[in-house]
Amino acid sequence: MAHERVLVVGGGLAGLAATMRLAELGIDVDLVSLVPVKRSHSVCAQGGINSVNALTRQQGDSEWKHFDDTVYGGDFLQHQPPVKEMADWGPKIIDLMDRLGVPFNRTSEGFRDQRRFGGTLYKRTAFAGATTGQQLLYALDEQVRRWEVEGKVRKWEFWDFLAPVLDETGRCRGAVCQDLVTMEFRSFPAGAVVLATGGNGLIYGRSTMSMVCTGSAVSRAYQAGAWYGNGEFIQVHPTAIPGADKLRLMSESARGEGGRVWVPRKPQDPRDPRSIPESERSYFLEERYPKYGNLVPRDIATREIFDICTTEGLSVEQDRLCVYLDLTHIPRETLDRKLGGILEIYEKFQGVDPRVTPMKIFPAVHYSMGGLWVDYERSATGGLVEGSFRNQQTSIPGLYAIGECDYQYHGANRLGANSLLSCIFSGLFVAPTLANACGSGSRAAGDESRLFDQEVRRQEERHRSLLARTAGVENPYGLHQELGTLMTRVATVVRRNDQLVPAYDEVCRMAERWTRCAVSDTGNWTNQNVVFTKALGDMFPIAKLILKGALLRDECRGAHFKPAFAMPGLKATDPVGRRQEAEQWCDTFEANTRRWLKSTIATCGPGGDPEISYQDVDTSLIPPRPRLYGLVGADAIEEVWKERSARATDHAGRAAQPAGAGA
Amino acid sequence: MMIRATDDAHAMTDAAGAQRGELVRVRILRQDVPSGESYWERFEVPYERNMNVISILQKIAAQARSQDGRKVAPVAWDCNCLEEVCGSCTMLINGRTRMACSALVDRLLAEDGDEIELRPMSKFPVVRDLVVDRRRLFRGLEKVEAWVPVEGSYDLGPGPRISPDEQEDAYPLSTCMSCGCCLEACPQYTKVEVVRREGESEKDFEARRKAAYDAAFVGAHAVSQAMLFNAHPTGRMIADERMKALTRQGGIQMCGNAQNCVAVCPKGIPLTRSIARAGRAATVWAIKRLFDR
Amino acid sequence: MSGESPSFLERHQFLIYRLFSLAGFVPVGAFLIVHLLTNASILAGDGGRTFQSRVDMIHSLGPLLVPVEWAFIFLPMIFHAVVGFVIIANGLPNVGSYPYVSNLRYTLQRATGMIAFAFIIWHIWQLHALGKPFGGGRFDAHEAASSTAAVLGSTAVSILYCIGILSAVFHFANGLWTLGITWGLWTSPAAMRRANVVSIAVGVVLAAAGLGAVAGFRSLPADSASHGHAASAVHETLPPSSP
């Protein structure tokens, strides 16, 4: 079975983790990446990686609580077994990365240091300076380089994944890719193909994502028939540095280390922020969320910052939306030691020292919770069956997805420092699955080469027709800018149906205009122009499914916020009225859960238009409960909710196994 | 890699207040194919506040016209993260090697007149325009075995305990993003360009290319990585292998102590400290080898 | 591009470069120090008597002098020079693009190496017995001071000597600093800075000695014999203040 190769597309954390483990299992790997794998977008992750650890365990933490925080933070939209499995793997993944030489920060005793991140009350996050993602990626890059020297891995850097190749039974047999230097096409027959191609922030024009995050590979799989899940769930990071070419991330660790978010109480107070007295500052996150303070989950922080600038008009600047993120009360040495890297980024790109002057920040598109729908096989204990051919498999047999480009782990909202974990976990975990998939399907060699030839010809034709389009009138870069502006306006922090409907039509028109895009470079050597135009064309189907998913989902869940369907807090002040309102609130919540606690599944219809359906979510381990961060009357609602859950448990007559397991 | 036009009226950040109307003049050394003729082309793009070289190149890609209005192919260049952690966008900007993303136009104009000059790195073969082939750089990492030689990725407990001092010593070295600035500025690191011969098989060509890389100076980045892993409790278990690599042809002895590497490193990595440590380790190692053999 | 099998030089590059570095320090550098300090004894103010006695001491080796010279001076120097030229040929100075002090020193190290080499050839031709067959070799061990003074009587020659000496001294002092890095004596930036101060001090002392000697020889009365009387002028023409 081992003479079949596996094709890994994408060399970020997930792709490299899978490659390393595959090589270890004796499988030969072809690793295709748009950029040298060491330059993948994973390097941008700054803050850290979550896992239960010896310290938090003694404070009452457990894998179960990590799992619970993750599904609660994700508003219960993720299937629970994969998340449970991930949380269970957390400690050994951190240990592994530690063994691989990641320079995690240390305590004075020489153990790994941890910090607290959003959405939890425990110091669960291991970190390496302010470049944890970079450090983790490098450790895996080094191991893969080692396997490359051994001859188990062959890297194809500066190659673009164009399409999966499916046989007549619909099974994926490999892929066709293109060399971005010589522009040649090549078939990659493979026992299994795994996409680890990350997010699609470029659909939003500017985001915190890298320039390769176009989502094109995922889009191509989607157009070939793979289902896309939860597309409308796009995380907007609360704190980014506004820039002309990119919105650069300011890590959540800035708040984890004590950074405070505030605005002057007087709109656009022109004074130097340092001279504004405490009494004239509004630390609005701390005021509204006393328990979590500046470390509320990302969707809430984002909405609050957005809201204080737009609705309340308290933006720090007149002509640009932003709030202060203040670290100036923390000693310089502490900042340099714990946050040096990210503060340098601010200083480098803004020319201001954040140790002295509060930073100006604003939310930016950051992470795609949604992605290719993938399957899993549930084990008896509620986790996953390791090595099952179903794990991480897309709706196309033989085609797998891991990392940010799957929809599996983060539900409606991702917790900070969970993405690095999900990427490494899914990469490691999928490897035995892929190894088992190799050689599992019978095949006839002759037919196969015909399949690949066909696909190569189709791709060559697409390429040629693009190059021939010199008489077109549309500029791909201008069109991309329009798409980004539109998507950012209607499908980020706040969504309204009256905006989404026309926006969908507008994107359809843009997709149509794309067919008239002219390429200004008609050569056949390192033609970035045509590669970009191709990727742009593949953004439209995804943009459409994001918009349509958002339009159809008439509720608020995680990162998807529709004010028209928000569930307001309680108004009554007297105990009886509050009780009554709380009962009603819980009724509405239950009804909403029945209606909307479902995965959005998009399939690509004719013309790239999505067909949306819904799929039940496996919430068998932790029953959904309301997310009440900072809601008025949260106490009353919680009380009612607890009574109801207790009744439900009694009725069902089964012990609350999951809750007990965590104790 | 991917290129994208900037957006000056962004819905979320509403970038305003840029001084409009002014044009930034750029002169770019272009080359259509490897080993081809290079030529200068001039461009003009509208000035914007807080602009960097990446935004200039994005605008050039979008307009695809030279200064004199001719329709030209967009300039090819490498970039990815745009926040100086991926190491992609190294080029010669006003004659000096640096990252295009963190090269702010205001500062460039202040330091060097009214025109910005962009050239590809000179120590690596040009692929096209500002894109160069930096595979030799990664080959250097293979040569010095820049990795921790773990016995598989299964759960075998945590890594070794490491003091905060050791961590603080190692961390800066570990932030090396393989951008190649240290190599570009190094007077001892000279270009190696291997061209495939007529009728040469891919395998033979690869072997010849690697041999040519290995014969030349491995470079400051690789020396520093070797020191990083030789300091790691597990990494140092193959310290001898790395010392062998560092004392082979093209090893540490090629360093000429110009110390440009440390001066141009965008991450401020103490490369000369690593080089001196490698020198010390090589001294001790060579003497030990002499007497232990 | 390397061929199929690397050459001897390529296989033993590390060893050769380290020996090259070592040779620059001992014996070549050590000889430079002895040589310059010996010459500086002309400044003793006794009309060259001290200088003559030092020369006599060296020449007391008699027939051994030639093999000692070859083993400890000429051959190491030739080795250092040959490898040095290989190194220079393979480098690509770029001080125009990267005008940093240490880069300037890198470039100067190579330039002064070449100047010093040319100077030494000329110097040997002019004064050493080896130069005799070629019309040089004007040093007379029995008339050490006056024969040297006669050569340095020419202002042009003196200027060239000053350039040659300064090049050699810079090359040695700067080489001392880089040697410490090469061999790993000083590794941290702070240690390198401290070592730099020491190297500069060594350089200043040697430059003073070297230039002082030139001045000292030039100020000897033309007719003063090595065993003759001290020239009172010596004290008035002490070396120019240190560079």
pLDDT tens for residues A403-430?
999 999 999 999 989 999 999 999 999 9
**pLDDT band of A649, cuts 50, 70, 90:** confident
Torsion sign (Cα): A197, A198, A201, A207: negative
Distance from CA of A423 to the nearest CA of B (A): 15
- The angle formed by the CA atoms of residues B190, B193 and B197, to the nearest 5 degrees, is 155
Q: How far is A477 from chain B (nearest CA, A)?
A: 5
Q: Check CB contact under 8 Å for A521 and B74.
A: yes
- Residue B291 distance to chain A (closest CA, Å): 31
ipTM of this model? 0.93
Chain A residues with CB under 8 Å of B79 CB are: 211
| R_g of chain A computed on alpha carbons | 24
Q: What residues pair up with A7 in beta bridges, in sequence order?
A: A30, A193
Q: Is the pLDDT of residue A291 over 90?
A: no
Q: Are strands A371-372 and A228-229 parallel, antiparallel or unpaired?
A: antiparallel
* CATH code for the domain in which residue C176 is found: 1.20.1300.10
Active site residue A298: yes
For chain A, the average pLDDT equals: 93
pLDDT of residue B13: 34
- Mean pLDDT in residue range A207-224: 97
Q: For residues B210 and A2, what is the distance between their CA atoms, to the nearest angstrom?
A: 28
Cβ separation A477–B3 shorter than 8 A: yes
Model confidence at B10: pLDDT above 60: no
pLDDT band at C4 (very low <50, low <70, confident <90, very high): low
- Cβ of B192 within 8 Å of Cβ of C1? The answer is yes
C54-79: average pLDDT: 95
Q: pLDDT-based confidence at A334, cuts 50/70/90?
A: very high
pLDDT in tens, A74-100: 999 999 999 999 999 999 999 999 999
Candidates C182, C186, C192: best to mutate against B (most CBs of B within 10 A) is C182
Model pLDDT, residue A45: 92
pLDDT of residue C193: 96
Asked whether residue C17 carries a pLDDT value surpassing 90, the answer given is: yes
Nearest to A544 by CA among A302, A247, A225, A228: A228
Question: Residue B214 and residue C186: Cα distance in Å, rounded?
Answer: 28
pLDDT tens for each residue of A514-551: 999 989 898 999 999 999 999 999 999 999 999 999 99
What integer pLDDT is reported at residue A272 of this predicted model?
94
In chain A, % of residues over pLDDT 90: 83
For the cut 80, the answer to whether the pLDDT of residue B35 exceeds it is: yes
Quick one: which of A162, A164, A168, A170 has its CA closest to A190? A164
For residue C58, pLDDT over 70 is answered with yes
pLDDT at site B9: 33
Q: Report CB contact under 8 Å: B211, C192.
A: no
Decide if pLDDT at A511 tops 70: yes
Of C2, C100, C182, which is closest to B215 when you measure between CB atoms? C2
- How many domains does the structure of chain C reveal? 1
To which residue do tokens 């291991």 refer?
A: A126
Which chain B residues touch A316 with a CB distance below 8 Å? Answer: none
DSSP of C81-102, one letter per residue?
A: HHHHHHHHHH----TTT---HH
DSSP string, A303-314: HHHHHHHHTS--
Q: Is the minimum CB–CB distance between C92 and chain B shorter than 8 Å? A: yes
Residue at C1 is within a domain? no
If you count residue pairs, one on B and one on C, with CB atoms under 8 Å apart, how many are there? 117
- pLDDT tens per residue, range C68-116: 999 999 999 999 999 999 999 999 999 999 999 999 999 999 999 999 9
For residue A96, give every residue at least 6 positions away whose Cβ sits within 8 Å of its Cβ, in sequence order, or none: B153, B155
pLDDT band at C242; cut points 50, 70, 90: very low
How confident is the model over A137-161, as a mean pLDDT? Answer: 98
| Local confidence band at A310 (pLDDT 50, 70, 90 cut-offs) | confident
Helix (H, G, I), strand (E, B) or coil at C207: helix
Domain definitions of chain B by residue range? 23-128, 134-292
Provide the domain limits for residue C135. 8-236
A247-267 pLDDT, tens digit each? 998 988 899 889 999 999 999
User: Residue C1 and residue B95: Cβ atoms within 8 Å?
Assistant: no
Average pLDDT over residues C147-174: 96
The pLDDT, as a whole number, for residue C237 is: 35
Per-residue confidence band for A1, with pLDDT thresholds at 50, 70 and 90 = very low
Residue of A39, A127, A316, A467 for testing the chain B interface, max B β-carbons within 10 Å:
A39
Q: What percent of chain B has pLDDT over 70?
A: 93
CA distances from A489 to A250, A444, B260 (A): 21, 51, 46
Residue C120 has pLDDT above 70, yes or no: yes
Give the residue extent of every domain in chain A: 6-236+367-447, 237-365, 574-610+619-661
Assign domain B134-292 to a CATH class.
mainly alpha
Q: Quick one: pLDDT at residue A629?
A: 78
Neighbours of A168 (CB within 10 A): 7
Q: A124, A298, A553, A625: which one is catalytic? A: A298
Q: Which residues of B touch C183 (CB under 8 A)?
A: 279-280, 283
pLDDT for A444 beyond 80 = no
Interface test with C, best of B186, B192, B253, B265 (most C CBs within 10 A): B253
Q: What is the pLDDT of residue C232?
A: 37
Looking at the domain covering A6-236+367-447, what would its CATH class be? alpha beta
* Subunit contact A145:B138, Cβ cutoff 8 A: yes
The strand pairing partners of A115, in sequence order, are: A125
Query: In this structure, which topology does domain B23-128 adopt according to CATH?
Result: Ubiquitin-like (UB roll) (3.10.20)
Model pLDDT, residue A442: 58
Confidence of residue C241 (pLDDT cuts 50, 70, 90): very low
| A573-616 confidence digits (pLDDT tens) | 999 999 999 999 999 999 999 999 999 999 999 989 999 999 99
CATH number of this structure's domain A237-365: 3.90.700.10
Q: Is the dihedral of CA A604, A610, A615, A619 positive or negative?
A: positive
C-alpha B93/C-alpha B90 separation (Å) is 9
Query: In whole angstroms, what is the distance from residue C169 CA to residue C154 CA?
Result: 22
| Structure confidence at residue C226 (pLDDT) | 43
Whether the CB of C106 is below 8 Å from some CB of chain B: the reply is yes
Phi-psi domain of A569 (left: phi exceeds 0; alpha: psi -120 through 50; beta: other): beta
What is the pLDDT at residue A355?
96
Residue B80 touches partner C, C-beta closer than 8 Å: no
C242 domain-assigned? no
- Per-residue pLDDT band for C223 (boundaries 50, 70, 90) equals low
Residues of C in contact with B211 (CB under 8 A): 2
CB distance from C98 to chain B under 8 Å? yes
Q: What is residue B21's predicted lDDT score, i.e. its pLDDT?
A: 63
Average pLDDT value for residue range A309-336 = 92
Residues of B in Cβ contact (< 8 Å) with A489: 11
pLDDT for the residue C40: 96
- Return the pLDDT at C34: 96
CA–CA separation, A112 and A89 (whole Å): 17
User: Which candidate, C201, C230, C233, places its Cα nearest to that of C218?
Assistant: C233
Helix (H) or strand (E) holding B142: helix B135-143
Please report the pLDDT score of residue B104 as a whole number: 92
Q: Which residues contact A537 (CB under 8 A, 6 or more apart)?
A: A511, A514, A517
Contacts of B50 in chain A (CB under 8 A): 243-244, 349-350
Confidence of residue A311 (pLDDT cuts 50, 70, 90): confident
Give the other-Cβ count within 10 Å of A548's Cβ: 21
C-beta neighbour count of B61 within 10 angstroms: 24
> Residue B5: is its pLDDT beyond 60?
no
